[in-house]
Amino acid sequence: MKTRKLGANGPEVAAVGYGAMSFSDFYGPTSEAASHAILDAMRDWGVNHIDTSNVYGMGRSEEWIGSYFARHPAAKDDFVIATKAGITRDADGNRVFRNDRAHLEGELDKSLKRMGVERVDLFYVHRRDPGMEIEAVTETLVEIMKTGKIGAFGFSEIAPSSLRRAAAVHPVAAVQSEYSLQTRSPELGLVQACAELGTALVAFSPVGRSLLTDHPLSREAIAEAAFLAGNARFQEPSLGYNLAATDRFRALAAEMGEPTAALANAWLLAQGDHVIPIPGTRSVEHFRECVRGAEIALSADDLRRIGEVLPVGWCHGDRYNESQWVGPERYC
């Protein structure tokens, strides 16, 4: 497995990692056994980077990682673990964001307990609290790092301007953002700022929540997944247009003799040595297709052909609806 740095001074991680939100029911029902099968496959294939959060399945993702470690104690040494905190609920049940040390470190301690580890390699602020300056949040993360509970820190869904402000206080190991052939907005400053600052750009949803695969989710499956059912890209008429557009990409992948998901991940890896996709799936077979992307070296002509079938701006519909946009920083 080819590797990349998780930040300028960070550990070497597999060029393609794994997003463990799929250890929850976010995209459909799964099980502890299915999640453990993914972890087994990761060890078999040398995929050591696993990304989770305290809110994935309300802790279940971390619990199943912890139950795997309980059964396979030596496996703890095989993984570079990232988790997150910062999303919570107020007394009325409304989603809010907290970046104060009491909340972040308190949630981190719960995450460590669920996974049965004493330290994680990377700890993200999952969403920025608009009431706190990012410089102050960065100083808080530096203090948490001094406790030895985290090896490095990062931010999820922040603007390049925010990254620069944070990096002026302390190097930021990683920024996590949605980035794929379907979502190109990070190219308007975030890809460049991460490269300049030595920050890894960890790309979630690299296969477009299934649209950039050989088997996009059915309309029935979309209707049963609350997030997708309310997302403009998966509602008609946009869904029909997006399926037609990605049919051309599927045809190109077939012509090249590769799984569509592999080609989507290979394209991301070609966007910079600091870009690290973390596909999430409940299927070992589909995960293998994603990991295959790390084995593909795309030529300039390959990239040109991909750009012709999926040019910038091809996708119909916004990537989030208005409620889903609460939290991520818009910068373009």
What is the set of active-site residues?
56
Helix, strand, coil in percent for the chain, rounding step 5: 45, 15, 40
Q: Which residues of 146-179 are buried (b: 16+ CB within 10 A; e: fewer)?
A: eeebbbbbbbbbbbbebbebbbeeebbbbbbbbb
**CA 247 to each of CA 159, 219, 240, 258, 280: distance values in angstroms, whole numbers, following the listed order:** 32, 16, 11, 14, 21
Q: How far apart are CA 178 and CA 202, in angstroms?
A: 8
Please count the residues of the chain. 332
Q: Kindly report the number of other CB atoms within 10 A of residue 33's CB atom.
A: 8
Q: Which is it for the CA torsion 49, 119, 101, 26, positive or negative?
A: positive
Ranges assigned E (strand) in 282-332: none
Task: Give the contacts of 115 (CB within 8 A, at least 6 positions apart).
Answer: 52, 62, 63, 65, 66, 69, 81, 83
The SS3 of residue 49 is strand
Backbone angle region of 195, left / alpha / beta, with phi > 0 → left and psi within -120 to 50 → alpha: alpha
Q: Which is it for the CA torsion 175, 177, 182, 183, positive or negative?
A: negative
